[in-house]
Amino acid sequence: MATVYLHIGAPKTATSTLQSMLSGNFKQLLKQGVLYPQLLRHGDAHHTLVADLIQAYQGHTMADLWYGDRTRGEAWQDLQREIEQYPGIDKIILSSELFFGQTQRLQDMLADIRSRLSGHELKVVVYLRRQDQLYSSFFNQDVKGARQWAHNAYQFFQTHQIFQRDYGELLGLWSDGVGRENMVIRPYESGQWVGGSIIEDFCAVTGVEPLGRVQTTPNESLGPTQLYVKRCLNRVGYDKGANESVLALLQRICPEAPGKPCIYVHRGLYRQYRKKWIQVNKRIADQYLDGKPLFSEAIPPPEKVELYQPELAQIQLCLLALFEHFSHPREREHRSLFARAMLLILAEQDLWDEFESRRCNTLIQWI
């Protein structure tokens, strides 16, 4: 019997870094008696496990990007086949942050997982990021990424699946499914990590000997102007498969420092969110951590955090840079898309006069 550590995220808690570390040390882990399965992986993570469960129990067909060249519906069979190849292993680590946001028929999904992993001990590892940081970072990421979120932050918080249940409710669902004693809850806060490192902390939690670091590309937030322009690109719409090339083009033409922590909703709404977050964290401390605070750093009051507000002057400079780029005859890739987004920005920000009518007419021709 092996101990299975099911790492469920949460999103925006260095999951990609941990998955890259585990994937890159596959052979070294095996020498320790630890399996990080690779037959079912797409990239470094085990998202196909969750995608197959979602399709089976929620009736949703997950996008191809979660599968790559993997066959749908076979992830759990691939996992069992790989476990059988290594009968002497002591630990199995599975990792996908897609698990974290699941609430619909979660108990059925967990019953299925327990059945498939029968004979093994199941532990659930979850890192929780302070809510104000998670909400801010996740909104920025969903505008930036292939999900191409196009609406405002309020709509994002109200409709995204991951925010429909608070941390306490989510932990309660998982505890009911696997047992509270099998929940390993860690803060995403470097001051509380073993050695001040998320990798060392994860290794300590799972009982793995320290592993070498793997080079990763930081997933930085978009700057305020980039975020606004990208959201406008998302609003006019384009193929998700082109997201990376469109994003790279925007960042190259309109370079900007990554965004700093800020509030994407108005202060009054943030104040309501903060009150609830504090209550939830107190409840988690009492129920799971013997009263020890979940986070050592307090959630700041709204007066201490900047509001998100892209500067009009920077938007104008970005528009001019984009116009100059696409004015070159050879720069045709994504020209129509950016022209549509630029016209939307001109209308929304009332910049017609500043941009000049001849440029506006050119944008219309590019469409």
Query: Tens digit of pLDDT per residue, the chain (367 long)?
Result: 899 999 999 999 999 999 999 999 999 999 999 999 999 998 999 999 999 999 999 988 888 878 888 889 999 999 999 999 999 999 999 999 999 989 999 999 999 999 999 999 999 999 999 999 999 999 999 999 999 999 999 999 999 888 889 999 999 999 999 999 999 999 999 999 999 999 999 999 999 998 766 665 667 899 999 999 999 999 999 999 999 999 999 999 999 999 888 999 999 999 999 999 999 999 999 999 999 999 999 999 999 999 999 999 999 999 999 999 999 999 999 999 999 999 999 999 999 999 999 999 999 999 9
Structure tokens at 239: 């193929």
pLDDT at 216: 59
**DSSP, residue by residue, 294-306:** S-SSPPPPGGGSP
195 near 201, Cβ under 8 Å? yes
**1: burial class by Cβ within 10 Å (0-12, 13-18, 19+)?**
exposed
Q: Please name each of the domains of the chain with its CATH number.
A: 3-130+163-206 (3.40.50), 224-258+311-366 (no CATH)
pLDDT at 215: 62
CB under 8 Å to 75, separation ≥6 — which residues? 40, 46, 48, 49, 51, 52
183 near 124, Cβ under 8 Å? yes
309 near 224, Cβ under 8 Å? yes
Element housing 198 (H / E) = helix 198-206
Structure-token match 């949460």, residue found: 10
Distances in whole angstroms, Cα of residue 309 to Cα of each of 257, 306, 339, 350: 15, 9, 23, 16
Distances in whole angstroms, Cα of residue 337 to Cα of each of 242, 310, 320, 356: 11, 21, 16, 20
pLDDT at 214: 61
Other CB atoms closer than 10 Å to residue 311's CB: what's the count?
11
pLDDT at 101: 87
Structure tokens at 81: 């086949």
